């Protein structure tokens, strides 16, 4: 059973709604349901809703005058019954080349974990990763589901340049850098897939509640897919997660 939600001020123009402080699918589903219900009754003075692992932050256009009144409204949201599903969820297949040309930290991870590189790749590709929220960089997906054997602390000295598409492990998480960036995660591969395209109606193809499944590809396959993506002939694979 989920514990009672807490509501806290966040400056003069925001309220944070918090669930239990852990990464959990049940909490994610509860937050997504709350966000969907909120969308039906969203006040005109609300400008955005930001999702975290266990929280939703409601941003208001103007200063909150009556905090208790706003909290009463938010608590009432949970009593709304949705008559239909608002969003479909999908599992996206993401091709990744784990060649050491791209996976520049694979050998170090292999040594520290006393685990063969092929086993690291197997562990990384056999899991299904739930998308909890998007942040840090536009299109950066925060994923849950990394095998404990692959937990690896972030680097003490972050790199000044991590290339777009780099797949990394940081602590208990794995993720894909959507653009060139500084970063301290351990890089194990690279995908040719673009995770954020400002020219598209939906710049990021995935959303919280969706899942990611990584698929290992060869170096030749990577360059072939890169060419298809440039020529706009590649279609990203997805399957519905709906029952």
Rg, the chain, Cα only: 20
Mean pLDDT of the chain: 90
Q: Where in the sequence of the chain do the CATH 2.40.100.10 domains occur?
A: 90-240
Res. 82: pLDDT tops 80: no
Specify the higher pLDDT residue, 183 or 79. Answer: 183
The answer to whether the CB of 77 falls within 8 A of the CB of 38 is yes
Using pLDDT thresholds of 50, 70 and 90, give the confidence band for residue 33.
confident
Range(s) for CATH 3.30.1360.40 in the chain? 6-77
* Residue 139, pLDDT above cutoff 80: yes
Predicted structure pTM score: 0.83
Looking at per-residue pLDDT, the higher value among 224 and 50 belongs to: 224
The tens digit of pLDDT for each residue in 12-22 reads 999 999 998 88
Percent of all residues in the chain with a pLDDT value above 90, rounded to a whole number: 66
pLDDT digits (tens, 9 = 90+) for 182-214: 999 999 999 999 999 888 888 899 999 999 999
**pLDDT score at 2:** 54
Half-sphere exposure (CA, 13 Å, Cβ side) for 243? 1
Q: Does domain 90-240 have CATH number 2.40.100.10?
A: yes
Domain 6-77 has CATH 3.30.1360.40: yes
Inter-residue contact 25 to 130 (CB < 8 Å): yes
What is the reported pLDDT for 1? 43
The SS3 call for residue 222 is helix
Rounded CA gap, 103 and 89, in Å? 30
């Amino acid at each position: 059973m989920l514990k009672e939600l807490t509501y806290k001020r966040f400056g003069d123009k925001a309220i944070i709604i918090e669930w239990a402080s852990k990464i959990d699918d049940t909490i994610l589903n509860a937050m997504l349901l709350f966000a969907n219900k909120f969308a039906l009754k969203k006040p005109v003075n609300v400008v955005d809703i930001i999702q975290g692992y266990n929280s939703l932050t409601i941003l208001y256009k103007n200063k909150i005058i009556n905090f208790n009144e706003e909290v009463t409204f938010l608590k009432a949201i949970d009593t709304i019954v949705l008559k239909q599903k608002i969003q479909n969820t999908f599992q996206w297949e993401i091709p990744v080349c784990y060649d050491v040309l791209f996976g520049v930290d694979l050998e170090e991870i292999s040594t520290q974990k006393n685990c063969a590189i092929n086993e690291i790749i197997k562990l990384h590709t056999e899991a299904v990763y739930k998308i909890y929220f998007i942040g840090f960089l536009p299109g950066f997906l925060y994923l849950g589901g990394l095998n404990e054997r692959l937990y690896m602390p972030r680097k003490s000295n972050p790199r000044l340049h991590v290339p777009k598409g780099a797949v990394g492990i940081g602590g208990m998480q794995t993720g894909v850098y959507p653009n060139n960036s500084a970063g301290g995660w351990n890089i194990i591969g690279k995908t040719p897939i673009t995770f954020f395209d400002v020219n598209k109606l939906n710049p990021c193809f995935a959303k919280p509640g969706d899942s990611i499944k990584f698929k290992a590809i060869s170096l030749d396959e990577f360059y072939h897919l890169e060419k298809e993506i440039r020529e706009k002939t590649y279609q990203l694979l997805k399957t519905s997660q709906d029952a």
